[in-house]
């Protein structure tokens, strides 16, 4: 069974030459990405490493060019550059895992789905997002489910979560604030999206022997989709995850931690009050001594007030959820 169900594939880098041949001008003209942007991707994200030719000019390979073209496509589909890079890492990992499984089983069966082509005539996530918002506001269950299904048929799980579901929910939240939609509509939308995310989460096979990560919401926190997305990304990257849902009560959580000895605890807070309630969690976890799981916090409350993170004795992952999932996986398997 394939974990990676997307039709968007990472660039097949091994097919391209690694010989540095092209100067910046050639790359700009072939990919349409301006030179300052290329330099920013190199400097900030380390995703490109052009070699230096005579006069210290940058020289790019065909392989670099494939990465640039791929990132550009993702950005055109609505991702930010950091989301696109996170997706690149996720898909590359998934593709390496699939190749390893294929070699191990010597079965060609899995390969066809994993190398399915990208649909050239695809709708952008922005277009699908417009339809989805309209369907959610109309409480049109079937149409909204079909818009989401359409997106999953074309884009990766990470792209759909970050560039379709999250922005659509944010637009819905903005409409609610202006009085344009009711809380009932918000509940309808979250129930529908949660259902889809949960079924994806449960369809990802999880290794029995991997270290356990607990993912849930801070005490008092009802916004659960961020934690659920993070749980999904983590599971897709091969981590054993138990999703605890909304409003995780501290006493019970500590008992569960003592009983199940997770390697990692991740709590999400959207509301400031929920984030504040985590301040007392740090010392209680520290009192567990060597049984203390690695403790991460994240979510909207910390994004809007980074000082809040300093008061919680957990590591704040100030980054996109798929990159956070990688970082956590790396720490758990180090």
Residue 170 binding ligand B12, by CB under 6 A? yes
Tokens matching residue 33:
């990405």
Task: Answer whether 201's CB lies under 8 Å from 228's CB.
Answer: yes
Q: How would you label 316-328 residue by residue, b for 16+ Cβ within 10 Å and e otherwise?
A: bbeebbbbbbbeb
Residue 173 binding ligand B12, by CB under 6 A? yes
Tokens matching residue 88:
């690149």
Residue 234 binding ligand B12, by CB under 6 A? no
Residue 298 binding ligand B12, by CB under 6 A? yes
Minimum gap (Å) between residue 69 Cβ and ligand B12:
25
Q: Which residues ranging from 255 to 274 are in contact with ligand B12 (CB under 6 A)?
A: 266, 268, 270-271
User: Strand pairing partners for 266?
Assistant: 215, 296
Residue 13 binding ligand B12, by CB under 6 A? no
Task: Answer whether 113's CB lies under 8 Å from 2's CB.
Answer: yes
A 10 A CB-CB count for 12 gives 12
A 10 A CB-CB count for 290 gives 4
User: Strand pairing partners for 326?
Assistant: none
Q: Quick one: which segment of 5-13, 21-29, 168-176, 201-209 binds ligand B12 (CB under 6 A)?
A: 168-176
End-to-end alpha carbon distance in the chain: 26
- Of 65, 133, 225, 312, the one binding ligand B12 (CB under 6 A) is 225
Question: How would you classify residue 316: left for phi > 0, otherwise alpha for psi between -120 and 50, otherwise beta?
Answer: beta
- Of 61, 77, 95, 190, the one binding ligand B12 (CB under 6 A) is 190
Residue 222 binding ligand B12, by CB under 6 A? yes
Q: Which is nearer to ligand B12, 69 or 300 (CB)?
A: 300
CB neighbour class for 243 (10 Å; exposed up to 12, middle 13-18, buried from 19)? buried
- Of 128, 278, 281, 317, the one binding ligand B12 (CB under 6 A) is 317
| Rounded Cα distance, 68 and 61, in Å | 11
Report the relative pairing of strands 58-60 and 22-23 from DSSP bridges. antiparallel
Q: Which is nearer to ligand B12, 38 or 265 (CB)?
A: 265
Q: Which is nearer to ligand B12, 11 or 216 (CB)?
A: 216
Q: Which is nearer to ligand B12, 27 or 301 (CB)?
A: 301
Residue 98 binding ligand B12, by CB under 6 A? no
Question: How many residues form the binding site for ligand B12 (CB under 6 A)?
Answer: 36
Residue 245 binding ligand B12, by CB under 6 A? no
Residue 229 binding ligand B12, by CB under 6 A? yes
- Of 5, 114, 135, 224, the one binding ligand B12 (CB under 6 A) is 224
Q: Which is nearer to ligand B12, 130 or 220 (CB)?
A: 220
Task: Answer whether 210's CB lies under 8 Å from 235's CB.
Answer: no
Helix, strand and coil in the chain, % to nearest 5: 60, 10, 30
Q: Quick one: which segment of 36-44, 65-73, 151-159, 180-188 binds ligand B12 (CB under 6 A)?
A: 180-188
Residues that bind ligand B12 (CB under 6 A): 162, 166, 169-170, 172-174, 176-177, 183, 186-187, 190, 220-227, 229-230, 266, 268, 270-271, 296-300, 304, 317, 321, 324
């Amino acid at each position: 069974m394939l974990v990676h169900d997307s039709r968007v594939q990472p660039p097949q880098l091994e097919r391209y030459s690694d010989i540095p041949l092209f100067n910046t001008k050639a790359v700009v003209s072939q990919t349409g990405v301006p030179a300052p942007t290329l330099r920013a991707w190199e400097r900030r994200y380390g995703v490109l490493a052009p070699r230096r030719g005579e006069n210290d000019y940058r020289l790019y390979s065909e392989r670099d060019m494939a990465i640039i073209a791929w990132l550009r496509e993702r950005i055109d589909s609505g991702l930010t550059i950091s989301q696109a890079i996170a997706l690149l890492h996720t898909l590359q990992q998934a593709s390496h895992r699939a190749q390893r499984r294929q070699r191990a089983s010597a079965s060609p069966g899995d390969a066809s789905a994993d190398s399915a082509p990208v649909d050239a005539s695809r709708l952008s996530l922005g277009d699908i997002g417009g339809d989805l918002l309209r369907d959610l506001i109309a409480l049109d269950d079937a149409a909204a489910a079909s818009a989401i299904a359409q997106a999953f048929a074309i884009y990766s799980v990470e792209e759909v979560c970050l560039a379709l579901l999250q922005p659509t929910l944010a637009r819905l939240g903005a409409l609610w604030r202006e009085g344009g939609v009711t809380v009932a509509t918000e509940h309808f939308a979250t129930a529908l999206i949660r259902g889809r995310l949960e079924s994806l989460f449960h369809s990802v096979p999880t290794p029995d022997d991997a270290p356990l990560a607990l993912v849930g919401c801070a005490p008092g926190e009802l916004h659960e989709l961020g934690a659920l997305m993070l749980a999904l990304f983590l599971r897709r990257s091969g981590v054993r995850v138990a999703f605890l849902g909304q409003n995780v009560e501290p006493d019970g959580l500590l008992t569960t931690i003592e009983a199940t000895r997770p390697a990692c605890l991740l709590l999400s807070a959207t509301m400031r009050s929920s984030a504040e309630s985590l301040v007392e969690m740090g010392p209680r976890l520290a009192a567990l001594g060597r049984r203390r799981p690695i403790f991460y916090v994240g979510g909207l409350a910390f994004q809007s007030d980074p000082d809040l993170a300093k008061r919680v004795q957990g590591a704040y992952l100030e980054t996109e959820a798929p990159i956070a999932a990688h970082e956590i996986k790396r720490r758990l398997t180090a």
